[in-house]
């Protein structure tokens, strides 16, 4: 079996998630699975991006040589602009940059941060908790009427208990509209033009728009006539959580093992 990963280390989003205070133990999953893969003789190729290598360059892997191809290429965030951020000196970061800055200790003074969470998932939950632990003032903005709706009920109860110890407040059923001199302008998702609210004093927005599965690789594989050998798992199928990603990867492997004779497998990520 060959495992191809574009980055210089394995882990995908978990490599970021494990950097958050309180979520470090997620990293055990990656470390254990990597050790197991090496023990079992998987050919792990790091820093190799599968896809069109560009004009003149040879294809990095001959995908036609594999009987099964498991695509676990993850998801990407949709883009959203927040008018007025630059003019009003408000920084806007995505999840990854925020995790890196937090981990590097870049914010020495407590900041007033709006986390805009379109998904209600662990991404925002992990970030808000880590920011709270770091002593930052956090305003959580979500279009949904429920906090962290995609975190399981039992985990959510514990999470909300922990968040009560920090300086965190929520603005539900709200979308960010713009940044003005007065602060971050929010719009009620059902209200009319007058249904707006201002969160004053925000100096950083961590914007977490909805995510969509990465599909470029599927088109590239189809162009090589190997689409019938492809199984898509995890966020590349639909952006969700680690539970689905590991379960679907496990199922894909069981499917391969059920093949009459052991056959070559390519796993992307
Ligand atoms: C900050 C943060 C915190 C999170 N916290 C949690 C949590 O507490 N609990 C939870 O369940 N989930 C959490 N998640 C979500 C969870 O990490 C993802 O759902 C999960 O990692 C999805 O796994 P995946 O393998 O499908 O995709 P990913 O983890 O995104 O991995 C995809 C991999 O594919 C590689 N890749 C992409 N294209 C190519 C290519 N062409 N060639 C080679 N390699 C390629 C990428 O480099 C990447 O390493 C968090 C996510 C973030 C960002």
Q: Which domains, from first to last, does the chain contain?
A: 2-76+212-268 (3.40.50.720), 79-209 (3.50.50.60)
| Structure tokens that stand for 160 in this block | 């909300």
Q: Which residues, listed in sequence order, are joined to residue 232 by a DSSP beta bridge?
A: 71
Is 266:4 a contact under the CB 8 Å cutoff? yes
Burial of 257 (0-12, 13-18, 19+ CB in 10 A): exposed
> Whose CA is closest to atom 1 on ligand 1?
17
- Whole-number Å distance, alpha carbon 131 to ligand 1 midpoint, is 21
Provide the residue-wise pLDDT of the chain in tens; the chain has 269 residues: 999 999 999 999 999 999 999 899 999 999 999 999 999 999 999 999 998 776 666 667 899 999 999 999 999 999 888 999 999 999 999 999 999 999 998 898 999 999 999 999 999 999 999 999 999 999 999 999 999 999 999 999 999 999 999 999 999 999 999 999 999 999 999 877 666 899 999 999 999 999 999 999 999 999 999 999 999 999 999 999 999 999 999 999 998 888 777 677 888 88
Residue 18 C-alpha to ligand 1 middle, in angstroms?
Answer: 11
Pocket of ligand 1 (CB under 6 A): 4-7, 12-14, 16-17, 23, 26, 49-51, 72-74, 95, 99, 122-123, 126, 217, 234-236, 240-243, 245, 268-269
- Does the pTM surpass 0.85? The reply is yes
Distance of alpha carbon 32 from alpha carbon 34, whole angstroms: 5
């Amino acid at each position: 079996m060959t495992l191809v990963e574009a980055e210089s280390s394995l882990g995908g989003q978990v490599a970021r998630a494990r950097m958050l205070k309180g979520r470090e133990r997620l990293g055990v999953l990656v470390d254990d699975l990597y050790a197991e893969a090496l023990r079992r003789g998987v050919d792990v190729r790091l820093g190799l991006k599968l896809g069109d290598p560009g004009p003149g360059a040879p294809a990095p892997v001959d995908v036609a040589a594999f009987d099964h191809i498991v695509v676990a290429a993850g998801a990407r965030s949709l883009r959203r602009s927040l008018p007025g951020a630059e003019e009003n000196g408000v920084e806007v970061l995505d999840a990854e940059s925020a995790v890196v800055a937090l981990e590097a200790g870049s914010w020495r003074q407590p900041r007033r941060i709006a986390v805009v969470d379109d998904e209600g998932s662990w991404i925002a939950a992990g970030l808000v908790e880590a920011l709270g632990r770091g002593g930052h003032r956090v305003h959580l903005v979500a279009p949904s009427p429920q906090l962290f709706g995609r975190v399981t009920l039992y985990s959510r109860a514990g999470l909300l208990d922990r968040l009560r110890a920090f300086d965190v407040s929520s603005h539900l059923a709200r979308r960010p509209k713009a940044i003005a001199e007065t602060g971050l302008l929010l719009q009620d998702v059902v209200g009319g033009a007058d249904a707006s609210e201002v969160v004053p004093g925000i100096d950083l927005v961590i914007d977490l728009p909805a995510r969509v599965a990465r599909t470029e690789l599927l088109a590239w594989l189809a162009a090589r006539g190997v689409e019938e050998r492809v199984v898509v798992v995890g966020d590349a199928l639909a952006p969700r959580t680690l539970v689905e990603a590991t379960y679907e990867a496990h199922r894909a492997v069981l499917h391969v093992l059920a093949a009459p004779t052991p056959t070559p497998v390519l796993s992307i990520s």
